[in-house]
Amino acid sequence: MKFKTLVSIALSVILLVGCSNKKQTEQTTEEIVTELKNPVEITFWHAMNGEQETALKKLVDKFTKENSNITVTLQNQSSYPDLQQKITATTASPKDLPTITQAYPDWLLNAMDENLVVDLKPYIENKTLKFDNYDDILEGFRQASTIDGKIYGMPFNKSTEVLWYNKTLLDKHNIAVPTTYEEFAKASKEVKEKANIVGGGFDSLSNYYTTYLKNEDVTFDSKLDPTSEASKKAVNYYLDGVKDGYFRIAGTDKYLSGPFGNETIALYVGSNAGEAFVKQGVGDKFEIGAAPYPAKYVMQQGTDLFVFSSATAEQKTAAYKLLQFLTTKENQIEWAKATGYIPVRKSAIESDEYKNSGTLIAPILADATKNLFTNPVVKGMDSAFRESNTVLESILANTNVDIKTKLEEFKSTLMGIWE
C-alpha cells in the first residue's frame, strides 16, 4: 500500500513539474510583446566618446524619430573599465541595471549564470519581430556572442587587426606586402637591410600571442601549456626579430602608429579602427597601404549589445527593435564610415557604397574578415589574456631573460587563473 502511495505521489510530482515547465515555456513565449501600444522608455549604457559617441547619438535620434513611442536615454560611463565596474557592481541589484548595455561577453558570464541577461534567440526567430537575415552578420561576430546555444548579444562596435605599411618605402625597395608570418619577417628584414629602420611589429602582444597560437591550431584556453612547442615558437618568432633589430614592440609608445608616422618603422599589425590615428600621424609624408592580417586566422575584437532580464516585456521588445535598427545594412555603413569600425553585415562590407567610402580599410575588409575567431568566452579569460601581454612584454623588452623560466612561471600563473 505504501509503495502504491509513493508511486502515486511520484507521478503527481512528475506531472506537476511537467505542467510547470510547460507553463514556464508558455510564459516565456507570452513575454515577447510584438506590438508596443504605449510609450516605452529604455536606458542604454555605453562607453563611446568623441566621434563615436556623436555617431551613436545620431543613429539613436534617427531611431526615435522613426519610433516615436520609444524614448532612449543614452548614459555614457566614460570608459570600458568604468563601464565594466559599474555593470559588475550593479548586478547585485538587478532592478538598477539599464535596459541595454555595451559590454564584452566575458564581463557578463556571472550575470548569464544568474539569468540576468536576455536570450535574444526567441526574438530573432519570432514570426512578427524576426531579424532581417541574421546570417548576414559575420559568422565570427555571431559566434562571439552565442553561448550554450543562446544568443546573448548583438555585435556592435567591431574591429579586427590589419597590416599597415609604408607603401612608398616598400615600393621603392621592391619589398612585397606580406601575407604570412614568414613573409612578414622576411619583409621586415629587408626593410632593416635596405632602409636601415625597424621593419615591423605588433601593436597588441596578447593579440599576437593568441592569434599566432590559433594559426598553429592551438586554442588559448585552460588546456594551453605555455611551455609547449607552439607557445615557444610564438615567443621565439618575435624575440628573434627584436634581437636582430627588424622587429620592435610598442613599449612606451603604447601604439606603433606613432613610430609608423615618424618613419621609424615600416609596417605593423594594428586595429583597423585606428585608421584615423594612422592618417593623422603620417599626414602627407608617404602613401599608406593597408592589407589583411598576415596569416589565415585573425582575431575579432570589440563589444556587443546586451539586454537585461530586469527590463519589462515592453522594454525588452523596444530594446530589441533598437538592436535591429543599429544593425541594418544602411545604418552599419553609416556607423562604419563615421567611426572606422567594421560593418557587422557582409552585405554592408561588400556594398559599393562602403567600398568607395574613401577609407583605406573598406576595399580590403571582405578578405580581412574571412576567418575571424574569438577566444573562448569562459571565466578567467580576461585575466589570462592580459597576463599573456605582461609575460611577452617582460621577455621582449629584456631579451636576456630566461625564456624557459618565464614560460614556466606563466604556466603556473595560468593554472591559478583557470582554477
Domain boundaries, the chain: 40-159+302-368, 160-300+373-418
pLDDT for 399: 87
pLDDT for 160: 96
pLDDT, tens only, 191-224:
999 999 999 999 999 999 999 999 999 999 999 9
For 373, phi then psi, to 5°, come to: -140, 165
Closest CA to 63 of 344, 334, 323: 323
pLDDT for 29: 47
Fold adopted by 160-300+373-418: D-Maltodextrin-Binding Protein; domain 2 (3.40.190)
pLDDT for 237: 98
**Cell numbers at residue 363, please?**
576595399
Q: What is the pTM of this model?
A: 0.88
pLDDT for 31: 81
Q: Which residues does the chain have with pLDDT short of 50?
A: 1-30
For 177, phi then psi, to 5°, come to: -70, 125
pLDDT for 9: 42
Alpha-carbon distance of 213 to 67, in angstroms, equals: 46
**Cell numbers at residue 54, please?**
556623436
C-alpha distances in Å from residue 131, one per residue of 143, 155, 241, 330, 362? 16, 13, 48, 15, 25
Alpha-carbon distance of 170 to 193, in angstroms, equals: 12
**Residue 73, beta-bridge partner list:** 43
Burial class (CB in 10 A: 0-12, 13-18, 19+), 65: exposed
pLDDT for 322: 98
pLDDT for 357: 93
C-alpha distances in Å from residue 143, one per residue of 118, 157, 257, 405? 17, 15, 30, 36
Whether 40-159+302-368 shares its CATH topology with 160-300+373-418 is answered yes
40-159+302-368 domain in CATH 3.40.47.10?
A: no
